[in-house]
């Protein structure tokens, strides 16, 4: 649905651009070359060329947004305003000197004056956004830019009454007034602010990117200053569009390429993370006394959830499921450290509470980011079915009995791992009879949310598990995932979703 919406948005916008472009050509043809001076024809021609280039550039930008997920919104705002500037400039030349179109001349020139201020404002926001500038000076300049834009637009509208920037006489002829130069102050000051910011933050830009920003400021401003003295030459917006093409090539395409490299690195990180988790199933094909299966689906490229299982000897199976605070790369790094420490402590023969205590103290000793991890760890004695477990703030497991029914096995939770050094961890035991299944999960399962912000919930999860009686562990996890997916629908996955199921055979 989102893809179709984007296509319709693109088609609608391009259709509007094309209508304005051919509408300008139609009026140009209607006026005729004989009725326009060579200077007028030159200006209109430049505007038409710029509009055509703007249409192509708009389509390219929309493709970038859809395919590369490049954040171009301020660039798109700027492009839209520059296109409208080209259109209003062309129309101003076409309606000038036509008495019947005097009203259109006034409205068109008013829009033209408004566009220059909006273009400067959006250029400022685009550069700030592109460079991720966090300076206090940037914040204060942004306030000035926004307040200044409002003042500027009010002044342009007041011109309709007082005529201090321009007037259009009864014959439909445009005339500059004595205060015309003041109409340029906001745009030029904002452009200079943008240039100053780019120079201050030049370390955030490649040399060619800085050159593109400087060119967008210097070239149109220089042309604009010339036209202040020489009326009849109006190529500022055409110059803007040319520099925007340069900016697109040097800034946006580069940004997309850098994002592609970042995506590739994240994909590599995700592959490394996946390889750290047991993912070959059946995990123990030579064992007939138990079966185990697990899955992990991160909300982002990499996640903070993890699971683990391994035999410490022929009769003891360690099972771990955990959820690190936070998301993304930091959580994934913390997850890696936590998993390795738990594995190291478990192999040494410690009990679950001793494992959590040892891991907690080591993490707390160097946890500058104040992250923590919820952990459920259990050791299954395969010969008897006895499970010795400890729960450090994690979700309660679900027991599905061979005799029928599933229930949440609730116990008192200990503190999460990584919060405070030296805290004790409680331990408890229960028994898995032959045919019983133990289901472990992270909060991404019960807290999976649909488009109306309704959660899947523990009750619905247990009902789903009750439907899996007679199914093996792989089918059990597949059934839960299917029900979660059907419940969530097209809503975005906000949390990692991890499950582990073991069955004593």
Residues 355 and 388 in one domain: yes
pLDDT > 90: what percent of the chain?
Answer: 41
Residues listed for the chain? 505
CATH at residue 492: 3.60.40.10
Confirm whether 271 is domain-assigned: no
Q: What is the rounded distance in angstroms from the CA atom of residue 20 to the CA atom of residue 237?
A: 16
428 and 396 assigned to the same domain: yes
Does residue 230 belong to any structural domain of this protein?
yes
Q: Look at residue 250 in the predicted model and tell me its pLDDT.
A: 61
Give the mean pLDDT of 391-414. 93
**Of the residues 246, 266, 286, which one is the last residue of a structural domain?**
266
Helix (H) or strand (E) holding 500: strand 497-504
Question: Which pLDDT does position 316 carry in this prediction?
Answer: 95
Spatial separation of the C-alpha atoms in residues 292 and 281, rounded to whole Å: 8
* Residue 461, domain member (yes or no): yes
pLDDT per position as a tens digit, 16-28? 888 988 888 888 8
Q: What is the pLDDT of residue 376?
A: 97
Is residue 136 pLDDT above 90, yes or no? Answer: no
Per the structure, the count of domains in the chain is 2
Shared domain check, 248 and 340: no
- The one-character DSSP state at 184 is G
Whether residue 491 lies inside any domain: the answer is yes
Mean pLDDT of the 490-500 span: 83
- Boundary of a domain, candidates 222, 242, 266: 266
Parent domain of 319: 277-504
Q: What is the mean pLDDT of residues 407-426?
A: 92
- 225 with 306, same domain? no
| Co-location of 39 and 138 in the same domain | yes
pLDDT score, position 261: 44
pLDDT of residue 69: 47
- HSE (CB half, 13 Å, CA atoms) of 465? 29
What's the average model confidence in pLDDT over 184-198? 87
pLDDT at 334: 82
Residue 125 domain-assigned (yes or no) = yes
The answer to which of 191-205, 258-272, 298-312, 394-408 has the lowest mean pLDDT is 258-272
Which of 188-197, 241-250, 301-310, 418-427 has maximum average pLDDT?
418-427
Amino acid 332: pLDDT: 76
Residue 1, pLDDT score: 44
Q: Given this model, what pLDDT does residue 311 score?
A: 95
Q: Are residues 232 and 298 in the same domain?
A: no
Q: What is the reported pTM?
A: 0.55
Instruction: Judge whether 444 lies within some domain.
Output: yes
404: number of Cβ within 10 Å: 8
Average pLDDT, the chain: 84
Domain shared by 463 and 366, yes or no? yes
Same domain (yes/no): 228, 303 = no
Q: Can you tell me the mean pLDDT for 441-457?
A: 89
Decide which of 266, 292, 308 is a domain's last residue: 266
Q: For residue 421, is pLDDT > 60?
A: yes
Q: What is the CATH number of the domain that holds 34?
A: 1.20.1070
**Residue 291 confidence (pLDDT) above 70:** yes
In-domain check, residue 47: yes
Say if residue 270's pLDDT is above 70. no
Q: Which residue has the tokens 């807290």?
A: 447
* Sign for the pseudo-dihedral over CA of 9, 15, 17, 20: negative
> Do both 240 and 368 map to the same domain?
no
pLDDT at 225: 66
Reading phi first (left if > 0) and then psi (alpha if -120 to 50, else beta), residue 415 is in: beta
Query: Does residue 490 share a domain with residue 344?
Result: yes
405 shares its domain with 284? yes
272 domain-assigned: no
- Residue 2: the pLDDT is 47
> Based on the domain organization, do 253 and 282 belong to the same domain?
no
Statement: residue 257 has pLDDT above 60: no
């Amino acid at each position: 649905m989102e893809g179709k919406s984007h296509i319709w948005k693109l088609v609608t916008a391009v259709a509007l651009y094309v209508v304005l472009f051919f509408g300008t050509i139609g009026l140009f043809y209607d006026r005729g070359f004989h009725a326009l001076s060579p200077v007028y024809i030159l200006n209109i021609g430049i505007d038409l060329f710029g509009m055509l280039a703007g249409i192509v550039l708009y389509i390219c930008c929309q493709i970038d947004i859809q395919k590369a997920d490049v954040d171009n919104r301020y660039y798109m705002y700027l492009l839209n305003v520059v296109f409208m500037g080209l259109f209003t400039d062309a129309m101003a030349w076409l309606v000038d000197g036509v008495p019947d179109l005097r009203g259109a001349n006034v409205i068109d020139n008013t829009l033209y004056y408004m566009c220059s201020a909006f273009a400067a404002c959006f250029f400022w926001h685009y550069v700030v956004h592109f460079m991720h500038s966090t300076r206090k000076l940037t914040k204060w300049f942004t306030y000035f830019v926004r307040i200044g834009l409002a003042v500027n637009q009010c002044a342009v509208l007041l011109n309709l009454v007082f005529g201090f920037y321009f007037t259009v006489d009864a014959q439909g002829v445009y005339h500059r007034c004595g205060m015309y130069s003041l109409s340029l102050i906001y745009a030029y000051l904002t452009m200079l602010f943008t240039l100053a910011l780019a120079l201050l933050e030049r370390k955030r830009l490649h040399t060619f990117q800085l050159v593109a920003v400087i060119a967008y400021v210097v070239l149109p401003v220089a042309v604009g200053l010339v036209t202040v003295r020489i009326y009849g030459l109006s190529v500022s917006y055409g110059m803007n569009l040319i520099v925007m093409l340069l900016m697109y090539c040097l800034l946006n395409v580069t940004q997309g390429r850098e994002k592609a490299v970042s995506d590739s690195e994240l994909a590599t990180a995700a592959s490394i993370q996946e390889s750290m988790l047991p993912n070959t199933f059946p995990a123990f094909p030579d064992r007939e006394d138990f079966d185990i299966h697990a899955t992990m689906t991160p909300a982002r490229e990499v996640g903070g959830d993890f699971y683990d299982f391994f035999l410490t000897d022929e009769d003891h199976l360690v099972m771990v499921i955990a959820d690190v605070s936070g998301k993304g790369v930091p959580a994934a790094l913390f997850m890696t450290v936590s998993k390795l420490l738990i594995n190291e402590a478990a192999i040494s023969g410690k009990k679950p509470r001793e494992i959590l205590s040892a891991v907690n103290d080591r993490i707390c000793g160097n946890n500058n980011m104040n992250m923590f991890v919820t952990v459920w760890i259990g050791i299954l004695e395969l010969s008897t079915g006895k499970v010795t477990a400890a729960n450090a703030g994690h979700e309660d497991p679900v027991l599905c009995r061979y005799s029928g029914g599933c229930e949440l096995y609730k116990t008192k939770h200990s503190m999460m791992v990584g919060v405070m050094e030296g805290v004790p961890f409680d331990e408890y035991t229960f028994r898995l009879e032959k045919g019983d299944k133990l289901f472990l999960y992270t909060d991404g399962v019960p807290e999976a949310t649909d488009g109306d912000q309704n959660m899947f919930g523990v009750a619905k999860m247990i009902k789903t598990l009750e439907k899996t009686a007679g199914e093996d562990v792989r089918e059990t996890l597949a059934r839960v995932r299917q029900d979660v997916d059907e419940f969530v629908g097209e809503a975005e996955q906000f949390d990692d979703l991890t499950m582990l199921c073991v069955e004593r055979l």
